[in-house]
Amino acid sequence: MTNFTLSGSKNNKRRKVLLITPPYHCGVVESAGTWMPLSLVYVAGSLRAGGYDVEIYDAMSKFDEWPAITERIKHSAPDVIATGAITATINDCVQICDIAKSLDPGIVTVIGGVHANFCYQEMLENNPSVDYAVRGEGELTMPELLDYHFGGGKLSEVKGIAYRVEKQVVATPERLFLESLSGLPMAWDLIEWKDYTYRPTPNSTLAVVSYARGCVQACSFCSQQLFWKQGWRARTPDDFVTELAYLKSEFGVDVVMIADEAPTTDETAWRKVLDLLIERDLGIEILLETRVTDIVRDEPILDRYREAGIDHIYLGVEAGTQATLDRFKKNIKVEESKKALDLINQANIITETSFVLGLPEDTPESIRETVKLAKYYNPDLAFFLAIAPWPYADIYEELKPFIESYDYSKYNLVEPVIKPTAMTTEQVSKELMNAFKKFYMGKMAQLPNMTKFKREYMISVAKLLATHSYLADQMKGFGKMPKKVHDMLADYIGEKVSS
Ligand code: B12
Ligand code: SF4
C-alpha cells in the first residue's frame, strides 16, 4: 500500500493531457442512460494535482464518430492522449492512438484500464502507436509516468507501467494499491454534466461514483476480482456521503450509480453509509450492485436502504442452476438468490439481474430452461448475456477450444463468440433474444399487480426497450399482451406497441 502524494511536474512547460473515451457502443447498459467515465475523473484529478492541464472528452457519451474525434484532437492539440480500455473497447482505444500519431507523431499516447492491465504485452507488441500501458490504478502512476517522460527520468523507476524498448516490451514492477481512497483529488468540474442522464427518471442528472474498490470473491468468468486481486478497500462513509452532497449542491446530481463491485462488503461501514444518507436526506436516487449474501445478511435493514434513496439493486445471479453456479465458482446457492431477490422486491426496490449463457454445453433447451428459472427468480429486469472469454479470466482455458472469434470488439456480452458443441453462435444469438422477449412479455403481464413505483418504472423501461435499445425489434410483440396491459403500455409507448 502506498500514500497519495504527488511530487508535482518536473518539467518547465505545463503539458496538456487529453483524456478521451473510445466511441464504442453495443447498446445494453447504454440504453438506460448516459454514463460518465468515472475512471477519467479520478485520473484527471490526480494529473491536475500533479501540475498538468487536463481535458476530458467523452466521445462515447456524445456518440461522436471518428471525424469529430479527429477534429477534437486537432483542436485540443494535446501533448498527451490517454484513454482507458476494457476488452471490448481496446480496438477503438488503439484507433484513437493511431489518429493521434497520424496527426502529430510527438503526441504521447497512453492506455490504462482492465484490458491494458492484463494484455499490455500483446497490446504494445502489435500497436506501435501506443507508447505506454498503465497497469492497475492510474492515480499515482499517470502523473509520475508523465513527469518521468517529460523530465527525462528513468522510466524503469515508474511502477505499474509497460512500454517498448527497441521493440521489446518492458514491464516495471507492480504498483501497490492506494492506501486510502478517501479525499482523492477529483475533477468533477471537467464533466459536461448536461450529457449525463438516467432515462427512466426524466430530466435527471446522473453521476457515476465510487465508495469501494474490489471484490473478495473468485468467480471464474470475472475480470474484476483479478484486477483488484481479490481485495476490498473503501472510503470512509463520511468522505463518500459528503461527495454525494457536493455533487447534488454543485452540479444538481439527483441520480447516482455506485460503480463498485461490492459496496456492502463491510457490514458496519455500510450501515454507517446508510445512516449518513438518511441523516443528510440528500434527495438522490441511488443505483447499486451487490452480492446475494449481503442482501440476505441485511434483511432486517432493507427498509433503511429504501430510506437512504436506494431504489435499484443489481444482483449478479449469473446462472439458473446450482451446477453452473458451482462451475462459475459463484459461491452462492440458487435458493439464496431467490430469497435475496424476493427481499429486495418486498422492499419496493427495483431488482435487476443477469444470466451468463452461451457456454460450450448450452443447448436451445438449456437456454429456455434458464428463462423459466429467471421467471421463478422474478427480478424486475433480467439480462441474458453471452459469455465473453476475457483472455485473462480463470475460465479462459476451459472456453478456449470453443472460441469462434478473436475480434475483441465482439467481447461485449451481447455477441456470442463461444460456439457451443450443439449450437451455432447465430442460434445462441437467436435464443438470447427470445429469452429477453419471453421474460419481458411475462413481466409486462405483471404490471397491474405492481406497486405504483414499480409500475411506472417498468413502463418507462418498456418504452426504452421498445424505442431505444438493440432489443427494439424483439419487443414488437408487445401487441400480443393481454388487452388491459397492452392499453396501459400503448398510452405511453404509442404505435411501437401495436406493431
Ligand atoms: C460504469 C461502467 C460502464 C459505463 C462506462 C462509462 C465510461 N465511459 O467509462 C457504461 C455503462 C457505458 C458501460 C458500458 C459497458 N460495459 Co461497463 N462497467 C462499468 C463499471 C460498473 C464501473 C467502471 C468504473 O467506473 N469503475 C471505477 C473506476 C475507478 O475503476 P476503473 O474503471 O478500473 O479505473 C481505474 C483503473 O482501471 C485505471 N484506469 C482506467 N481507465 C484508465 C485510463 C487511463 C488513461 C489511466 C492512466 C488509468 C485508467 O485507473 C482508474 C482509477 O484507479 C464496471 C464494473 C466495475 N465495477 O468496475 C463495468 C465494466 C468495466 N463494464 C464491462 C462491460 C463488459 C461493458 C459493456 C461491454 C457491457 C454492455 N454489453 O453493455 C459496455 C461497453 C461500453 C459501451 N459503450 O457499450 C465489464 C468489462 C469486462 C472486461 N474485462 O472487459 C465491467 C468490468 C463489468 C463486468 N461485468 O465485468 N460500463
Ligand atoms: S461477485 Fe461479482 S465482482 Fe465479485 S468475482 Fe463474482 S462476478 Fe466478479
In the reported structure, the alpha carbon of residue 211 is separated from the centroid of ligand 1 by a whole-number distance in angstroms of 15
Q: Give Cα separations from 28 to 34, 381, 385, 409, 468 (angstroms).
A: 11, 12, 10, 14, 10
Which CATH number does the domain 197-445 belong to among 1.25.40.10, 3.20.20.70, 3.40.50.2300, 3.40.50.1820? 3.20.20.70
C-beta 60 within 6 A of ligand 1: yes
> What's the pLDDT at 30?
80
In the reported structure, the alpha carbon of residue 223 is separated from the centroid of ligand 1 by a whole-number distance in angstroms of 11
What would the CATH number be for the domain defined by 16-171? 3.40.50.280
In the chain, what are the domain boundaries? 16-171, 197-445, 449-499
> What's the pLDDT at 94?
98
Neighbours of 323 (CB within 10 A): 11
**Measured distance CA(95)–CA(24) in Å, rounded:** 11
- Which residue lies with its CA nearest to atom 3 of ligand 2? 261
Atom of ligand 1 nearest to the CA of 34: 12
DSSP-derived secondary structure letter, 408: G
In the reported structure, the alpha carbon of residue 214 is separated from the centroid of ligand 2 by a whole-number distance in angstroms of 9
**Measured distance CA(159)–CA(108) in Å, rounded:** 18
Under DSSP, is residue 441 helix (H, G, I), strand (E, B) or coil? Answer: helix
**Measured distance CA(427)–CA(339) in Å, rounded:** 32
In the reported structure, the alpha carbon of residue 430 is separated from the centroid of ligand 2 by a whole-number distance in angstroms of 27
- Which residue lies with its CA nearest to atom 80 of ligand 1? 86
C-beta 29 within 6 A of ligand 1: yes
The three cell numbers locating residue 143: 502523473
Atom of ligand 2 nearest to the CA of 218: 5
**Measured distance CA(278)–CA(136) in Å, rounded:** 34
Under DSSP, is residue 451 helix (H, G, I), strand (E, B) or coil? Answer: coil
Give, for ligand 2, the residue of 228, 261, 265, 294 to mutate: max count of ligand atoms closer than 8 Å to Cβ: 261
- Model-wide pTM > 0.75: yes
Tell me the H-state helices in 50-195: 59-62, 66-76, 90-103, 114-126, 141-151
Atom of ligand 1 nearest to the CA of 261: 57
In the reported structure, the alpha carbon of residue 243 is separated from the centroid of ligand 1 by a whole-number distance in angstroms of 21
C-beta 344 within 6 A of ligand 1: no
C-beta 117 within 6 A of ligand 2: no
> Taking a C-beta distance cutoff of 8 angstroms, is the pair 175, 136 a contact?
yes
pLDDT per residue, tens digit, the chain (499 aa), is 445 666 555 555 789 999 999 999 987 778 789 999 999 999 999 999 999 999 999 999 999 999 999 999 999 999 999 999 999 999 999 999 999 999 999 999 999 999 999 999 999 999 999 999 999 999 999 999 999 999 999 999 999 999 999 999 999 999 999 999 999 999 999 999 999 999 999 999 999 999 999 999 999 999 999 999 999 999 999 999 999 999 999 999 999 999 999 999 999 999 999 999 999 999 999 999 999 999 999 999 999 999 999 999 999 887 878 888 888 888 888 899 999 999 999 999 999 999 999 999 999 999 999 999 999 999 999 999 999 999 999 999 999 999 999 999 999 999 999 999 999 999 999 999 999 989 988 998 898 899 999 999 988 887 777 766 655 555 555 445 555 555 655 665 554 443 3
C-beta 318 within 6 A of ligand 2: no
**Measured distance CA(136)–CA(138) in Å, rounded:** 6
